[in-house]
Amino acid sequence: MVTVQQLRSARAALKWSIEQLSTASNVSVRTIKMIEANDGKPQCRPSTTAKLISALESAGIEFIGSPDDRPGIRISAPAKEPGRS
């Protein structure tokens, strides 16, 4: 499990817009905005969180720690913009 802060941080580290994350994860812009408007654990379906995590990890983000113990991110590979080779 990840926190909303980790998701926001990961997107910022990749310099992705919400639209780019939406394209990469197949999660609507509206849903991402709703998720990012809160703190703590994402308030959405686990499958939605899984799509976001998968897209960010595919771009080189590693989620570290746990929601209760030093949550963070690590960039493990150069970032790619969705839709670009």
What does the alpha-carbon distance between residue 51 and residue 56 come to, in Å, rounded to a whole number?
9
The architecture in CATH of the region 4-75 reads Orthogonal Bundle (1.10)
What does the alpha-carbon distance between residue 23 and residue 6 come to, in Å, rounded to a whole number?
19
What does the alpha-carbon distance between residue 72 and residue 85 come to, in Å, rounded to a whole number?
27
pLDDT, tens digit, for every residue of 43-58?
999 999 999 999 999 9
Domain-wise residue ranges, the chain: 4-75
pLDDT, tens digit, for every residue of 1-30?
899 999 999 999 999 999 999 999 999 999
**To which H or E segment does residue 19 belong?**
helix 18-25
What does the alpha-carbon distance between residue 25 and residue 58 come to, in Å, rounded to a whole number?
10
pTM score of the predicted model: 0.86
